[in-house]
Amino acid sequence: MRLSLVVSTSDAAFDALAFKGDLMKGVKMAKQIGYDAVEIAIRDPSTVDVEELKELLYELRMPVAAIGTGQAYLADGLSITAQDVSVRNRAMERLKSHIDFASIFNAKVIIGLVRGKRDKRALDEVLELFVESLKELADYAEKKGVELVIEPLNRYETDFLNTLEEVKSVLESLNRKNAGILADTFHMNIEEVSIEESITKCGKWIKHFHVADSNRWAPGAGHLNFASILKALHDTGYDGFVSVECLPLPGGSEASARLAFKTLQSILKEF
């Protein structure tokens, strides 16, 4: 397993980012600290200078672990389960542009907040829309050689697909080889009875992994047992990235990114 840091384009609306602001500066900081890769949260890929980013990543020898898409929901209100068909269509087009972008960097695409909320609709109705949209996106992504990862989010951020087991059930009905689970320790700490047991049960479906401590601060600043959690993940055979997505606490962006790296690296080196 290797470590990744979530960085963002300057138009990020999401607070839970260890570093948001100048994208290039964030990539350089991640490299300087010792991270193996970056994960990039992007509202709209058309706003990113792809060639400049490619040049920097090549120079630093930094791969891109995944592309975050939640800004499309937070900043632009786009959702693939929206009641308004025009909003759904725009969300689909935006996500296809994320997939195109990810294909350049051999990165995964995250389906998290962009799934939207039920908005008092029946769960079956929303899940039907979600699966229908995901099938189209997964088929599009397959042609580009891109994997999609669906992130269970806690109940305070959305009102469906809150646990790993719930996402696993959707993936089974989706039946697409290029789709899996993005497990996040912050959300699991709220929703799962046991983080380790849920990882073990859903291990074969986990294709990406987010870490933040119990308070959404940097790992090492809360009460989660990352040695136990990462051991459970390691025992499933997972060999992907462990990606830090946390508030810039304690001490600000760089200090929190350094604490996370120190905490996690000391554990991962044992594996």
271 residues of the chain, pLDDT tens digit each: 999 999 987 665 556 655 556 889 999 999 999 999 999 999 999 999 999 999 999 999 999 999 999 999 999 999 999 999 999 999 999 999 999 999 999 999 999 999 999 999 999 999 999 999 999 999 999 999 999 999 999 999 999 999 999 999 999 999 999 999 999 999 999 999 999 999 999 999 999 999 999 999 999 999 999 999 999 999 999 999 999 999 999 999 999 999 999 999 999 999 8
| Among 247, 248, 267, CA closest to 16 | 247
Residue 157 known to be catalytic: no
Model pLDDT, residue 22: 80
- Give the other-Cβ count within 10 Å of 97's Cβ: 16
Catalytic residue, candidates 39, 147, 192, 245: 245
Please give the residue range of the domain that contains residue 252: 2-268
Helix or strand holding residue 4 (H, E): strand 2-8
Model pLDDT, residue 119: 93
- Note the pTM of the prediction, 2 decimals: 0.96
Model pLDDT, residue 226: 98
Task: Assess contact for 188 and 198: CB atoms under 8 A.
Answer: yes
Q: Looking at the 3D structure of the chain, how many domains does it have? A: 1
Model pLDDT, residue 18: 53
Model pLDDT, residue 15: 62
The length of the chain in residues reads 271
Residue 256 CB burial class (10 angstroms; 0-12, 13-18, ≥19):
buried
**Where would I find the beta strands (DSSP E) of 205-262?**
206-211, 241-244
Model pLDDT, residue 213: 98
Catalytic residue, candidates 39, 147, 151, 192: 151
Task: Assign residue 219 the CATH number of its domain.
Answer: 3.20.20.150
Model pLDDT, residue 23: 87
Model pLDDT, residue 19: 59
Residue 197 known to be catalytic: no
**Rounded Cα distance, 235 and 200, in Å:** 8
